[in-house]
Amino acid sequence: MTIEASELSPACFGLETWGRPLSEYDGCFSYQHLKSAGDRPISYDPSYFISKDKVDTVRARIMNTRSKKPRPIKPSIPQEAIDACEASWDAANEKKRKVDPKRHDASSVFVMTCRHSQVLFLCNIDTPGERQQCIVACLEEVKDLIPLHAKILQAYDVGCVMDHSLNLVHFFSYPILSAGFRERVSFVINAMHSFGHQWVCQIVYSPCLRRGLCLTNAEGVERFWSRIRKLIGITRNQWNLHRIWMIDQYTAFVNEEGRENLGSWIH
């Protein structure tokens, strides 16, 4: 990441008094890449994509953490509701393959935006399914952009499952998030997705019932996918280097246009 957060979204990160910035996160498995298209080493520094080394490091840390015995906790919602959401949502099932690894060397692109649909970070996913290392890597990048007293409200289509997973970690053994950071992160479920969750999840994690969100529906990521959908067919058959470059450059264009229109937002 080579751009200051205040340049991405002055309305969220150019503040004198800090509250709780809202970030939104989602992956789109339409942005696959065919192995047959080939690749070359990335010869430039993307403005928005988090490096593969960073994501892989987070993945290794998560796997190490999961090998340890979780601490007993009382979940914020009944365990059976968490289990039902985990079973019914693909995003919560890390073992489900969204693409054929024999044909594809990248399965999707993940994005994190602010509440005004300004892109903060992108991740290229080279695993068959959706996994938690991407959202953790994005959260850690956001942590470096905000003051120590600022908190993060993270919207995710399986925010209930992610929140529970992080709570299972023993903070003093091998935490997924760095020490002191977990307490600063809370979760909601994107408004459109919340209706597919268990009733208790809708009550606890709905953005409509969370103080401070006002009119935010946390669906900025869907607006971003809609804006760049024309790249799906083009990038699938490019070198992966060119695919990353094109998505990165088009994201810069979308962000520049969005920044000029921040004054039209009423929240």
Q: What is the pLDDT of residue 119?
A: 92
Question: CB within 8 A of 106, min separation 6: which ones?
Answer: 31, 32, 33, 124, 125, 126, 240, 243
Cβ within 8 Å of residue 261, ≥6 positions away: none
Q: How far apart are CA 185 and CA 55, in angstroms?
A: 19
Q: What is the mean pLDDT of the chain?
A: 80
CA distance 18 to 173: 31
**pLDDT grade, residue 97 (50/70/90)?**
low
- Among 93-107, 119-133, 176-190, 213-227, the least confident range: 93-107
Q: What is the DSSP string of 94-126?
A: TT--SS-TTTEEE-EEEEEEETTS-EEEEEEE-
